[in-house]
Structure 1
Amino acid sequence: MQDLQNITIEHTASLRDTMRVLDRGSLRIVLVCDEADELLGTVTDGDIRRSLLNNANMNDCITEVMNKTPTVMLNNTSISERLEIMKSLDLLAVPIIDDKGVLIGVETLAQALKPPKRDNPVFIMAGGFGTRLQPLTDHCPKPMLRVGNKPMLEHLINQFISFGFHSFFVSTHYLPEVIRDYFGDGSKWGVSIQYVHEDMPLGTGGALGLLPKDRPNLPIIMMNGDVLTKLNYAQLLHHHEAHGFDATLCVREDEYRVPFGVIETQNQLITNMVEKPTYRYKINTGIYILSPEIVDSVKENQRIDIPTLLEEHRANNKRIGTYTSYDYWLDIGQMKDYQKAQNDIQVYFKES
């Protein structure tokens, strides 16, 4: 919200007074209010130009010039809705009012475009050997292989940054110095990056036990570092919190069509015949949100895989849920996937 005093004027002000306020402001809009701060209208450069062309006098009351039916938004209008309104109407600023019409702020396009700061830690697994991508990974960790003109790990971090995340942990094992030398402490990207090193592979979940205990007491987003995705992490986090899950697995719907007729039998008698059936199922994307309690349940240097960890907590009545994503996602596990990523980066990522 901008400082309203700099862009607000009383309804008794003249056209000349309003022009002075408009001149010293940076939003190219003046808000006209009555004694009770109720919004009566708005004035822009265009309103003033049109009034002068219609022979308005500089001493005329601004209520004769102002737009009496401006676009406004209520305080409970979501950021996404505000952004959509401003983009669709080509507006740089819109007044915010309460349900009684009292002015309480003004939303700007610049503010709406800026993501809210999110303190939830992000934990990226980047310690694998990448043996299926040899010889490319002989001297380079798989997450540091370039897709377009950036390492895939950098694409991943940039995507998180676009949603307001700023605190990163990266697990390393194979060629850790390549990752550390490139990213450092993250200050080049305006974020914090800390590293946890696995002296020996601890499975897909064991590195959780190496995280510092003084991290924020918030759900942590954990994922593999060899993924290219346009996942909306803000929606994923909101889904996790809204459902009160202790852990959330991000999944995708996939299907497989059998190219033959399938015969089902019992005691050698046919019970059903299906011609080229399609089977649908959900696959694990390797992206999780974990509560602090689940993270802290992993002991230091404990070897454990994520499915085992989550199954243990599910057996203890923890709420383990799913979030189905329809965003672009590619697991770069094999050479054909890496080659596909080089083409996809031009389509799905502007930063390429």
Structure 2
Amino acid sequence: MKAMILAAGFGERMRPLTDHTPKPLLRVADVPLIDYHIRALAAAGFTELVINVSHLAQQIIEHCGDGSRWGLSIAYSREHEPLETAGGIHRALPLLGEQPFLVINADVWIDYSFDELMDYRFKSWESAHLVMVDNPPQHPLGDFCLGDDGVVQYRPVDSQGYTYSGVGVFSADFFAAMSLGKLPLRPLLDDAIGSGCLGAEYYPGDWQDVGTPERLAALDVRVRSVIS
């Protein structure tokens, strides 16, 4: 299975940190965020990685190179302007191929073992499989509900569900109906829920959306306390 790291965004909420540094290269305990993902992918046995780039793209390309220092190969999907999540994945499909692939948001911290998904086989009704986590303070109601059979369901208003972690396995067909261009992932997820073809699992481990300078600083303190 190939993997893709989404790394093309402007990081608007992280400014001024992202004015001169792309968000995936911001550091936690002196290590760029994207390195944690690449290390984990390599440790899980992934050998082919696609990274989409746009904002300050050359910095990411120069940092990650061809991937050989991690024991894998990296191909880059360039975007003239960030195409958002679904748009970026759709543009990268020629690099990802026809088999299911793993997608990871560069701006999350998670200790999930990616080998759990490397050989994942979709259930007969699935076209995508998400990793869901507990809701962070800034998103207390979450995104979706999760049935006992792993089917993702709409979250009723004012009820509590789970949060999409930014980690998931997708089929190329999941994006077949969309056109090239800018599009977030949420509309496609909603369509898949309506069709009954979106599955998920709940992960109770360590996860953090690194969306603001304050969250980045808090994560840096927490990680340093663990490794010191």
State whether TM-score is above 0.5.
Answer: yes
Q: Are 2:190 and 1:311 equivalent residues in the alignment? A: yes
What RMSD over aligned residues (CA atoms) do the two structures have, in Å?
A: 2.5
Gaps of 5+ in 1: 1-119, 257-278
Deviation at 1:169, TM superposition (A): 0.7
Match of 1:338 in 2: 216
Distance in 2 separating the partners of 1:192 and 1:149: 24
Match of 1:190 in 2: 71
Deviation at 1:122, TM superposition (A): 1.1
Change in 2 beyond 3 A, CA 1:195/1:297: farther
Match of 1:291 in 2: 171
8 Å contact kept, 1:246–1:294: yes
Which of 42, 45, 60 in structure 2 is aligned with 1:161? 42
Distance in 1 separating the partners of 2:95 and 2:4: 15
Deviation at 1:342, TM superposition (A): 1.0
Which of 50, 56, 60 in structure 2 is aligned with 1:179? 60
In our comparison, the structure showing a higher alpha carbon Rg is 1
Give the TM-score taking structure 2 as reference length.
Answer: 0.81
Local SS of the residue matching 1:160: helix
1:139-172 deviation line (CA, Å, top 9, x unaligned): 1001101111221101111111111112111111
Distance in 1 separating the partners of 2:135 and 2:89: 29
Q: Which amino acid aligns with 2:216?
A: Y
8 Å contact kept, 2:44–2:118: no
Q: Which amino acid aligns with 2:200?
A: T
Distance in 1 separating the partners of 2:209 and 2:2: 22
Distance in 1 separating the partners of 2:56 and 2:87: 19
Structure 2 matches for 1:7-22, cutoff 5 A?
A: none
Which of 84, 97, 118 in structure 2 is aligned with 1:203? 84
Q: How many residues are aligned here?
A: 207
Question: Moved runs in structure 1, 4+ residues, more than 4 A?
Answer: none
Match of 1:219 in 2: 100
Q: Which amino acid aligns with 2:164?
A: N
Distance in 1 separating the partners of 2:173 and 2:28: 36
Deviation at 1:237, TM superposition (A): 5.0
Which stretch has the larger CA shift, 136-145 or 318-327? Answer: 318-327
Give the TM-score taking structure 1 as reference length.
Answer: 0.54
Distance in 1 separating the partners of 2:188 and 2:166: 14
Q: Are 2:30 and 1:149 equivalent residues in the alignment? A: yes
8 Å contact kept, 1:252–1:285: yes
Distance in 2 separating the partners of 1:326 and 1:136: 30
Match of 1:281 in 2: 161
1:64-95 deviation line (CA, Å, top 9, x unaligned): xxxxxxxxxxxxxxxxxxxxxxxxxxxxxxxx
Identity %: 26
Gaps of 5+ in 2: 138-158
